[in-house]
Structure 1
Amino acid sequence: MMLSLTQWLWKSEFWLPPGYTWEDMKETEEIRYPQPHHLLLSIPFALLLIGLRFIFERTVAVPLSRKMGLREKAQRKASPNAVLEDFYRRHQKRPKESEVNGLAKQCDLQPRQVQRWFRSRHNQDRPSLTKKFCEASWRSAFYITSFITGLIVLHNKSWFWDHRECWTGYPQQPLMTSIFAYYMLELSFYCSLVITLPFDVKRKDFKEQIVHHVTTIFLISFSYCANYLRIGTLVMVIHDASDCFLEPTKIFNYVKWRWTCDALFLTFSTIFLFSRLVIFPHKVLYNTYYYSMELYEPFFGYYFMNALLMVLQVLHVFWSYFITHMVYRFFVSGTMEKDLRSDSEDSEKDEKGTAQQKEGERNGSFLSSSNSNGSFISKETPLQLNGRSCPTNGHTKLR
């Protein structure tokens, strides 16, 4: 049964264009082609990357965070309460108003005290700034390395400049050692991300991240087996182009280097929107949908490859919406909203801020936002430095 399923799965008509079989893809002493079993190397390489990450975070990222002035916020621990603790462990969420009232009666507390306890308890489980800094530092190091590697590998390749060359000689395009190494680097990294995902900082777009990572792994694996290496390398270098700016932006946000953070964020936003909404559809999607069909009839691999690419494009549009909204806020209000997908702490200040906002809206007054020094500056009048307007609080919304 399993043998029959395997034979069916690896039928050449699923993977190769009409007229080609796996016999045409056999390796010789002079010519090497991608082989599915090569992908197994990504597993030990992924474990190696996890080990390198562990060493990097402790020997490089943690000392760097101290040198850059990272300061952890003092956490106020929730007072011991067996009833509330039991509810928190069972439900892992804030209780509803009716549940708050019930818990308050059980514990002989005021509902507001119960709400405050859950906020404090929830904040105890939030990742520290140091953990976030270390994670962003590791990803920064990888994305910068990967992007530079991609440019070095591809700068002298014909398909990097003329995208129709992606299909010249396909599928019998020999495997180059540099392309193999680049593929293994990327595939191993995304495998390592999936392995460590339960332990990494959990954002509000956790589900979208899982979809992105799994889709990327499927895309890299399928493109390797079907010898879509040329298209695959273009996809990888386009994605790394913006990612290598995102993670450093997070780093400078954590250490509150506002001007550097804002400059990097605007750079990242420009590159992300241009690369994901212009270059990717024009140079990759159009290429796979239309240029490939100038030479071949549609087959399963054609549909499957394009389906995976479209999933990525949907995610690009999803994230572009948030980025565009942040950039709009930056230029209109002089401030950037708190990250909608972040895990910033809850506090009584949040409650007061919400109440003040509602009161301000009722009175028709302009809202004020608190800057990092605790003073209040009207959003209507950006702070002026050296004759130039700048963000009043500098907070950036990062994924």
Structure 2
Amino acid sequence: MSSSAPNAASKEKDQLSVDARLQHSTSFGYINVGDTSASLSTMPTTKASRRASNARLLEMQTNSESDFAIAKKLIIGFRELTYRQTWILPLMVLLVAFLTFQLSNPSGEIHRFLESMMVPSYYIEGTDQYGKGGNDFRFVAFYAIFFTFLREFMMCCVLKPISVYLGIKKEAKQKRFMEQTYSMFYYGLSGPIGLWIMSRTPLWFFETTPFYIDYPHKTHEVYFKVFYLGQAAFWVQQSVVLILQLEKPRKDFKELVLHHIITIALIWCSYRFHFTWIGIEVFVTMDVSDFFLAISKTLNYLDSSLTGPFFVLFIGVWVYLRHYINLRILWSILTEFKTVGEWELNWETQQYKCWISQPITFGLIFALQLVNFYWLVLILRILYRYVFSGDKKDERSDDEDEGEGEGDSEEEKKNQ
């Protein structure tokens, strides 16, 4: 009697604990659909990195009698500071480039080179239009570094303090919260800006015939060009982080890599061969749906009662933008690409709307649609399990506790 009662009480307590976790932790927050790659500040904290950090801290606490030892401590302290504040190094690169630009001879090669990195090139005199050229690659590279700085600064100095204020204590959950709130920040800006730029063209609202009427679109106003190249810089930065595997690969890592490769290919091909009006509509469908995804996941991390209803809203936005609109674009490529506007391959006039570009354009967007459809199936499976069976586990995501345990110290593990 005396031993069975505690066992029963223990089992009841364990069951209540399981029920509480199911109630307050849904799989909605762990869907990797459309996720950006992890930032430097949200990389998994491994035992090796913890040991290296602790070793640097101990080294700085030792007595230093020589100038060399003091200098060594300064170097170690700087390494520890940049380990904790990951935005410092990219900021230093940006500052060096900016100061060199300001101090260099305005008529010199260095000044012109740096200027082509920081401001859009190929302004057409007497118009509000900008052309295209090799300098655009420099612009993309420079702003890929800028996005690295922006993201790391937001993570370390803004979003992490917010997560602490909101009571998110577990390291893995805190990092996921930071990633999603940054996505909210970025897509909350890029989505409306993309819609605004689209509204300044005949494309509003997701029209397809204007793709081909005035093709080729060899020039653009400054807002369009900066937005397009800025998107390229964002995706280049994300692809580098993803391919280098600075984060622990998820179960859909291959699909995510494929998604990034297709996106980069679409950006380059559409810009080089003047299909940018198609490209901006695809950008908007991705960014707006990713904004709703980030909100859905953030609500989950906050254990909000709105998580379930908003997840349903997110599915509606996702289906409309990433499937209905994209299928309309694909249909227009099949039906209007050849019949509307000129149809020929002419390298001199840069007229590329022809027999070879049609299947390439269709194939890239269709490949993107296949990845999106794969993710949609998984999203609907999660919704089905949540509604009909109460199973809220997302088999696509790694267990959060597992990811966190790798980086926790022994003392933290004992307290969990």
Fold in common (TM above 0.5): yes
| Structure 2: distance between partners of 1:172 and 1:321 | 36
Q: 1:253 to 1:28 in 2, by over 3 A?
A: closer
Contact 2:217 2:275 in 1 (8 A): no
| Structure 2: distance between partners of 1:172 and 1:183 | 13
SS in 2 for 1:38: helix
In the alignment, which residue of structure 1 is the partner of 2:319? 273
Contact 1:173 1:227 in 2 (8 A): yes
**Number of aligned residue pairs:** 265
In the alignment, which residue of structure 1 is the partner of 2:157? 59
Q: 1:56 to 1:172 in 2, by over 3 A?
A: closer
**Match 1:241 to one of 282, 288, 302:** 288
TM-score of the two chains, using structure 1 as the length reference: 0.62
**Match 2:387 to one of 314, 328, 331:** 331
- Code of the aligned partner of 2:183: R
Contact 1:163 1:287 in 2 (8 A): yes
Deviation at 1:177, TM superposition (A): 1.1
| Structure 1: distance between partners of 2:176 and 2:166 | 14
User: Identity rate of aligned residues, in percent?
Assistant: 25
Structure 1 residue 189 corresponds to structure 2 residue 234: yes
In the alignment, which residue of structure 2 is the partner of 1:301? 357
| Structure 1: distance between partners of 2:144 and 2:209 | 33
Contact 1:39 1:221 in 2 (8 A): no
Q: Which runs of 5+ in 1 are unaligned?
A: 1-25, 73-126, 348-399
Deviation at 1:263, TM superposition (A): 2.5
Q: 1:27 to 1:168 in 2, by over 3 A?
A: farther
In the alignment, which residue of structure 2 is the partner of 1:177? 222
**Match 1:132 to one of 168, 176, 179:** 176
Q: 1:305 to 1:58 in 2, by over 3 A?
A: same
Q: 1:172 to 1:262 in 2, by over 3 A?
A: closer
SS in 1 for 2:338: helix
Contact 1:129 1:254 in 2 (8 A): yes
| Structure 2: distance between partners of 1:157 and 1:201 | 41
| Structure 2: distance between partners of 1:232 and 1:292 | 14
| Structure 1: distance between partners of 2:297 and 2:217 | 43
Q: 1:345 to 1:56 in 2, by over 3 A?
A: closer
Deviation at 1:39, TM superposition (A): 3.2
- Code of the aligned partner of 2:364: L
Contact 1:36 1:225 in 2 (8 A): no
| Structure 2: distance between partners of 1:200 and 1:149 | 29
Structure 1 residue 48 corresponds to structure 2 residue 131: no
**Match 1:253 to one of 294, 297, 300:** 300
TM-score of the two chains, using structure 2 as the length reference: 0.60
Contact 1:187 1:217 in 2 (8 A): yes
Deviation at 1:226, TM superposition (A): 0.7
Structure 1 residue 290 corresponds to structure 2 residue 371: no
Which structure 2 residues correspond to residues 1-399 of structure 1 after superposition, within 5 A?
29=125, 30=127, 32-72=130-170, 128-161=172-205, 162-197=207-242, 198-200=245-247, 202-257=249-304, 259-282=305-328, 284-294=329-339, 295=341, 296=343, 298-333=354-389, 335-345=390-400
Q: Which runs of 5+ in 2 are unaligned?
A: 1-121, 345-353, 403-416
| Structure 2: distance between partners of 1:248 and 1:129 | 15
- Code of the aligned partner of 2:234: F
SS in 2 for 1:158: coil
| Structure 1: distance between partners of 2:168 and 2:217 | 53
In the alignment, which residue of structure 2 is the partner of 1:92? none
Contact 2:163 2:174 in 1 (8 A): yes
| Structure 2: distance between partners of 1:264 and 1:170 | 40
Root-mean-square deviation over aligned CA pairs: 2.1
Contact 1:135 1:200 in 2 (8 A): no
In the alignment, which residue of structure 1 is the partner of 2:347? none
Q: 1:172 to 1:233 in 2, by over 3 A?
A: closer
| Structure 2: distance between partners of 1:27 and 1:310 | 34
